[in-house]
Amino acid sequence: MTHQKQKSNLEIERKFLVKSTAFKTEAFKQTKIVQGFLSTNKKRTVRVRLKGEQGFLTIKGASSKNGLSRFEWEKEISKTEAEDLLKLCKKGVIDKIRYEVKVENHIFEVDEFFGANKGLIVAEVELQEETETFVKPDWLGKEVTGKIKYYNSQLSSNPFTTWKK
């Protein structure tokens, strides 16, 4: 096993809708992501992800009451393992491009979705503390932190293009 990467902790993240594609010219990196779920239960989500040439297995617990933090455990796996495990996943594999954008001291991960979630773009910023402040770029829209329908696990079974507007 090379590139062994692993984390096991509480993630603090805020999530926003994105109102323009201006972020694309500011991105320092973009990566294709294909991901599926072995469990979409909100108390124990199990995700298989192929991110460029890397594979990851990620397990998330329930969100805290304010929706800001969530137990997250992640382990890097090989591309082949990820491909094998994606075959076992529930229907509704998610296909997106992740743009990474540095805004002052923070990195925003902006996901542009395709397929059944086409039209949806969301940005997430990871914080060290729940009260941490950060600069909001112009393209950042409404906050949707903790809104379950924007969880990728939910977008898998109830995709954006099927929502009643």
Residue 99 token pair: 């743009």
Annotate 130-160 with b (16+ C-beta within 10 A) or e (fewer).
Answer: eeeeeebbebbeeebebeeebbbbbbbebbb
Continuous segment of H or E residues that includes residue 79: helix 79-88
CB count in 10 Å sphere of residue 161:
11
Of 28, 30, 45, 11, which Cα lies nearest the Cα of 126? Answer: 11
Cβ proximity to a copy of itself, 45 vs 140, nearer residue: 45
We find the least distance from the C-beta atom of residue 152 to a copy of itself, in angstroms, to be 16
We find the least distance from the C-beta atom of residue 53 to a copy of itself, in angstroms, to be 18
Interface with a copy of itself (CB under 8 A): 1, 4, 6, 8, 38-39, 41, 43-44, 46, 57, 59, 61, 71, 73, 75, 77, 80-81, 84-85, 87-90
What's the rounded Cα separation, in Å, for the pair 9 and 41?
Answer: 19
Cβ proximity to a copy of itself, 85 vs 120, nearer residue: 85
We find the least distance from the C-beta atom of residue 4 to a copy of itself, in angstroms, to be 5
Cβ proximity to a copy of itself, 6 vs 25, nearer residue: 6
We find the least distance from the C-beta atom of residue 70 to a copy of itself, in angstroms, to be 11
Cβ proximity to a copy of itself, 55 vs 146, nearer residue: 55
